[in-house]
Structure 1
Amino acid sequence: MEEDDRKRRMALISIVLRSRHQIILKTGTEWEIMLNWSEATFARHLRISKHQFEYLLTKLQENGLHTDHTQGRTPVPDTKKVLIFLWYMANQNSFREISDKFDVSQSAAHGIIHQVLTIMSGIGNTFISWPNACEKAASAAAFHRVCGLDGVIGAIDGCHIRVQRPPIRGGDYMNRKAYYSVLLQGIVDDRARFIDIFAGPLGRVHDARMLRSSTFFTQWQKMGERCLLGDSAYIGHAFPFIKTPRRDNGALTVEDLRHNSKISQGRVIVENAFGRMKCKWRCLRDLQNTRIDIVVMIIMSACFLHNMCIAASAVCPEHRLAAQGRTITMSRLIFTVEKLLNIFTLTMHSLSVVIDVYLLYSVCTNDNVLPKLNASPFSSPQYGFEQLNIYFP
C-alpha cells in the first residue's frame, strides 16, 4: 500500500516537472501581518511610521490610487499597493523577490510600483515647496547660528544616483567616477528638507551646467536679497545668488580661510541630506532600471518621502551614533582650526609690536640705522611684510 502511494506521488511529481506551465510558490500570502507589527518593527522595515503610512495612503487614494472592481480577479487592495511600493523603495529587492513577498505576479508588482510612482510624481507640491517669507527668515536665522553668515536660506549641491547603462546614449551617463549615473540637484533648508529639486541630467554633466539647465535658474530672482551656499563648482559671475568658497591658489589669507570654513559648516547640510535619503531609501544605491523616465520618478519619490519623514526622524536610527560621532569630530576639528587661527593672529600682532619697539629703540640709540630704513630686503610686496622696512645687521 505504501509502495503504491509512493509511486503515485512520484508520478504526479514527474507530471508537474514536465509541465510547460511555470509553477510559482508564493510565501507572502499573509502580508496583512505587516499592519500588526509594532511601531519600531514597522519603521525598521518600511522606513516610515504607521501614522505617516496612513497619511501617504490617504494622499494616494485622493489622487487616483483606488481601482473599481468590475470583473475578473479581485484587484490588489490599496493598502497592499502602498506596502509594495514602500518595500521597493526601502530595499534593494528584485521584482521576483517582491512578488514572492506579497503573493503577486512579477508583472503585477511592476505595474503597482509604476502606478504609485506616477501618482507620486503628480503630487510633488504636497511635499516640496519654496519657502514663504516667514520660513525664509527662520532658515536665515538658523544658518546664521550654524555658520555665522547672513541672508542664507539654503544650500545647493549635486548628487550621483547609480543606474544601469541606458540603451540610448549610454556612454553619456558615465561620470568622472567611472560608473553610470543620473544627476540630482537639490536645494535644502536648515532642516535638511528639500525645497527644490531637479533630476535627470546625464552623469557626465557638470554641476554648474546642471544648474543653468534647471528651471530654478530662470526663477532665482524669487530669492530676493537672500542667497544659497554652494561649493567651488558654482564659482563665477553667472551665479550671484550663491555664496561660494574662495579658490585655494596658495595665497589665501586668514580671513579667506575663515570664510571658507564658514561656507563648509553651512553647506555640509545638503550633503547630509543626500546621505540620509540614500540610507533610508536604499533602492537609490543602485537602480536596476534602464528607462530614464522611471529612474527620474523614483528619485523624485525618494525626495518626497524624505521630506515627509524629516520632521519625525532627522537621522536614520541605524546610523544615529555614527552621525553623532562625525558631528562631534567635525565640531572639534573646527574648534581646533579656529583656535590655531586665533593663535597665529595674536603671534603676528605680538611680532609686529616687538619690531616696532626695536625700531624705536634703534632710532633712539643709533642714528646710523636711519639711512637703512628703505634698503630692506623685506620691502618687496612678495613677502607680505611691508612694515618690516629695515635691514637687520
Structure 2
Amino acid sequence: MARAEKSIIDSKRKNIFNTIVNDLLETSSESEDEIYHLLAENSDSDDDTLLERIVKRCKTTNISKDYMKEVLPEYTAEEFIKEFPISKKLFDDLVRKYELSDAYAYLRPDKRLPAALNLSVFLWFAGHENCSFNDLSERFNLPKSSISRVIYRIIDFLQGMKDEVIKWPKPMEKQKSAHFFGSKFGFSKAMGCIDVSHIGIYIHLPPHSCGDYVNPKGNVTLCMQAVCDERNRFIDVFVKHPGSTHPNQILYNSPIYENISTLCEDYYLLGAACYPCSDWIITPFKCDDEVKSYDKYFNLQHMQAHDIIRCSFCMLKQRFKQLKYCKLRSLEKLGNFVEACCILHNLSLGDNLLDITNVTDDGYINNVESIEPDINDRTRMLICEEICKKISNSEVA
C-alpha cells in the first residue's frame, strides 16, 4: 500500500513538474532550445531543486523588465555613461541594430528579453572592473545561466560589426594620418602606431600551460596587439597569445604581418623597441653611450608620437574596466570580448565624455627590447636625416 501511495505522489509531482515546465515554455524569454539546455544542465538535480530554479527564472524576468522601464530612463547623460561606458545615443543606435540582427531574431519574438536589457547587461559587465556574473544576476534579477548567454550573444553581435569598424585605412586616410605625424613629430610617412598591452584574466588554466600566461610583471594575462591611427582609432586588433609571449612572436603570427608591405605601401608604423626595425615598422634607436644627439632627438620625437597607442590603450581600459582583470572563463570568448570592447571604443570616439586624466595602463610593459636584430635600418636613418634637416632649417631661420 505504501508503495502504491508513493507511486501516486510521484505521478502527481511529475504532472506538476511538467505543467510548470510547459508554463515556462509559454512565458520565458529564452528560446525553446535554451530552455531545454537549462533542463539538461540540471538533469542530475531532484525535482524540487530544478523547480526552484525554474520558478526563479519566471519571477526574475518581470523584475528585470521593471528595472529597464523605471530605472534606466531616469539616468542623465552623465549618470548613464558612468554606469554604461558609452553614450546614450550610441546605446540607442546599438539597441536598434541588435533588434534587427539575426542573433536577436533567433530568440522567441513573443517572450524574449528586451534588446536594451541584453545590451545593458553586457555594458555593465564591460564597464565595471569588479563586476562578476553573480553581481549581474543580482542587479538585473536574472539567473547566471542567462547572464552568460546574454553576454556571449552581444559579443557575437558586436563582432559582426568588426570588419566595418576596425579596418585598415584607405589611401586618403593614410595620407591624412601621415600629414598629422609629419607636421607634429617629423614622421612624414607614419600612418599609425603598433604595440602590445596585457589583459588581466581570471581563468582556470591547465597546469602545463599556467606559466605561459604569466607576463614579465608576474601577472596572468592575455596579450593584445593593436594598431591605431592619430585619432586613437584601432585599425587592427589581434588577441590570442598568452602573457609570456614576446611582442616579436605575436607580430610574426598576426594576420597583418604576412601582408604588411602591401598594407602599408609607402607608409610605415611607429613601433616600440620590442620590435626589430624594418621598412614598415620604425623603432627608436637603442639607448647606449654611442647614441648621437640627433638620434636622441629622433627617439624623443618617436616616443611622443608613439604615446598615441599607449593613450589608446588607456582610453580603452578606462572605459571598459573589465579589461583590467577579465572574469570570462573561456580563452576564445576572452579574445572576442576584447575585440568587442575595441569596436565600442571606435564607435565612442568623439563623444568627449571620457576623462583619462592621470590614467595609466597597468597592462603596458616598458623597456622590452627586441630579441632579434633589426631587419632594415635604412628607412629609419633616412627619417632621422629628414628630421635633422628640419631642425637645422629652423635654427637658420
The verdict on how the C-alpha distance between 1:254 and 1:113 changes in structure 2, with shifts beyond 3 A counting, is same
The CA distance in 2 between the partners of 1:281 and 1:69, in whole Å, is 27
> Could you say which structure has the larger radius of gyration?
1
Alignment check: 8 A CA contact 2:203 2:327 kept: no
Letter in 2 for 1:137: Q
Alignment check: 8 A CA contact 2:316 2:341 kept: yes
The CA distance in 2 between the partners of 1:175 and 1:68, in whole Å, is 41
- Taking structure 2 as the reference length, the TM-score comes to 0.71
Deviation above 6 Å: which 4+ runs of structure 1? 22-27
User: What secondary structure sits across from 1:252 in the alignment?
Assistant: coil
Q: Which residue of 1 is the match for residue 395 of structure 2?
A: none
Q: Which residue of 1 is the match for residue 111 of structure 2?
A: 74
Correspondence for 2:227 among 181, 187, 194: 187
Aligned length: 302
Q: CA deviation at 1:66?
A: 2.1
User: What secondary structure sits across from 2:222 in the alignment?
Assistant: strand
Correspondence for 1:44 among 78, 82, 103: 82
Greater mean deviation of Cα atoms: 259-268 or 73-82? 73-82
Q: CA deviation at 1:173?
A: 0.9
Alignment check: 8 A CA contact 1:167 1:290 kept: no
The CA distance in 1 between the partners of 2:107 and 2:164, in whole Å, is 29
Q: Which residue of 2 is the match for residue 357 of structure 1?
A: none
The CA distance in 1 between the partners of 2:136 and 2:68, in whole Å, is 11
User: What secondary structure sits across from 2:196 in the alignment?
Assistant: strand
Correspondence for 2:343 among 304, 313, 321: 304
Letter in 1 for 2:144: Q
Does 1:235 find its partner at 2:276? yes
Q: Which residue of 2 is the match for residue 86 of structure 1?
A: 123
Letter in 1 for 2:142: V
The CA distance in 2 between the partners of 1:58 and 1:131, in whole Å, is 27
Among all aligned residue pairs of Structure 1 and Structure 2, give the percentage whose two residues are the same amino acid.
22
- Taking structure 1 as the reference length, the TM-score comes to 0.72
Q: Which residue of 1 is the match for residue 144 of structure 2?
A: 106
Greater mean deviation of Cα atoms: 126-135 or 27-36? 27-36
Query: Deviations for 1:124-183, whole angstroms, at most 9, x for unmatched residues?
Result: 112111111111111111112321221001000000001124423222111111111100
Query: Deviations for 1:79-128, whole angstroms, at most 9, x for unmatched residues?
Result: 11111111111113111111121121111111111111122222211211
> In the TM superposition, what are the counterparts of 1:334-345 in structure 2 within 5 Å?
none
> In the TM superposition, what are the counterparts of 1:114-125 in structure 2 within 5 Å?
114-125=152-163
Q: Which residue of 1 is the match for residue 135 of structure 2?
A: 97
Q: Which residue of 2 is the match for residue 257 of structure 1?
A: 296
Note the residue ranges of structure 1 that are not aligned, 5 or more in a row: 1-18, 324-341, 347-393
Q: CA deviation at 1:249?
A: 2.0
Q: CA deviation at 1:218?
A: 0.8
The CA distance in 2 between the partners of 1:57 and 1:137, in whole Å, is 35
Note the residue ranges of structure 2 that are not aligned, 5 or more in a row: 1-47, 360-387, 393-397
The CA distance in 1 between the partners of 2:348 and 2:101, in whole Å, is 20
Query: Deviations for 1:237-275, whole angstroms, at most 9, x for unmatched residues?
Result: xx3201111111211111110110111011000001001
The CA distance in 1 between the partners of 2:341 and 2:183, in whole Å, is 29
The CA distance in 1 between the partners of 2:274 and 2:222, in whole Å, is 18
Alignment check: 8 A CA contact 2:192 2:270 kept: yes
Alignment check: 8 A CA contact 2:215 2:221 kept: yes
The CA distance in 2 between the partners of 1:81 and 1:70, in whole Å, is 14
Query: Deviations for 1:201-232, whole angstroms, at most 9, x for unmatched residues?
Result: 11111111100000100111221110110111
Alignment check: 8 A CA contact 1:207 1:233 kept: yes
The CA distance in 2 between the partners of 1:131 and 1:275, in whole Å, is 22
The CA distance in 1 between the partners of 2:165 and 2:103, in whole Å, is 18
Q: Which residue of 2 is the match for residue 198 of structure 1?
A: 238
Letter in 2 for 1:34: L
Correspondence for 2:177 among 130, 139, 158: 139
The CA distance in 2 between the partners of 1:297 and 1:188, in whole Å, is 18
Alignment check: 8 A CA contact 1:139 1:190 kept: yes
User: What secondary structure sits across from 2:104 in the alignment?
Assistant: coil
The CA distance in 1 between the partners of 2:99 and 2:222, in whole Å, is 30
Letter in 1 for 2:187: L
The CA distance in 1 between the partners of 2:239 and 2:96, in whole Å, is 26
The verdict on how the C-alpha distance between 1:235 and 1:99 changes in structure 2, with shifts beyond 3 A counting, is same
Higher relative contact order (CA 8 A, sep 6+): 2
The CA distance in 1 between the partners of 2:214 and 2:116, in whole Å, is 38
